[in-house]
Amino acid sequence: DPETASVPECETYNLVQNFLADMLIRRASEADISPGSQEFAVVRFIIDGVLDVRPQMSLIESDMLIQALKAVSALDPEERRRPQEGLLSLDFAGKQVEIGVTTTGSTGGQRMQFRTMHEALRTNIKELGMTANILKSINTMSNGHSGLIIVSGRVGSGVTSTLYSILRNMDVYTRRLVT
């Protein structure tokens, strides 16, 4: 309850909300918070297969964030050394999002990694972050009567999401599709 929460609880709540919103708004498929020095933690996102280093946060903030996320991911907040895996489920912009959470301990502090699940469920190709020229090219190719579309990329770059969204826009009953 926000009215009865203490100042540290409100700060932690805001920290969690801001981190998760930043991760999801930027369409990060993976995120990582790890101790970088004695004072700061390094925050990294993987967006469309590309590493994006975010602004650092203090170790105190990262510990508050990790402890709060452990609690809502059904992990043991007291365990700081052994690896743990959990699942965080939330509603974001009217859609249900599941995030796999992994924690490990190190000599510098705790590390937490995140991986958004079910990225392939994004079936609208316009939501994938492509430029207008690329969208036009894909639509032209996918609406053609014959041809071959090859989608390739490294793990986490959105290959499956792209293929699913292209297939969702095609009439599979009137066309012969081979995947």
pLDDT of residue 120: 47
Q: Taking phi first (over 0 means left), then psi (-120 to 50 degrees means alpha), and beta for anything else, what does residue 107 get? A: alpha
Choose between 151 and 173: higher pLDDT: 151
pLDDT > 70 fraction of the chain, expressed in percent and rounded: 91
What's residue 3's pLDDT?
60
- The whole-angstrom separation of Cα 16 and Cα 89 is 13
Output the pLDDT for position 142. 84
Is 50 exposed, middle or buried, given 0-12, 13-18 or 19+ CB atoms closer than 10 A? exposed
Q: What is the CA radius of gyration of the chain?
A: 20
- Answer whether residue 45 shows pLDDT above 80: yes
- In this predicted model, what pLDDT tens digit does every residue of 56-113 receive, in sequence order? 999 999 999 999 999 999 899 888 889 999 999 888 888 888 999 999 988 888 999 9
Cα–Cα distance, 173 to 18 (Å, whole number): 44
Q: What is the pLDDT of residue 18?
A: 93
79-102 burial, b for 16+ CB within 10 Å, e for fewer?
ebeeebebebeeeeeeeebebebb
List % helix, strand, coil for the chain (3-state, nearest 5). 35, 30, 35
- How sure is the predictor about 122, in pLDDT bands with cuts at 50, 70 and 90? low
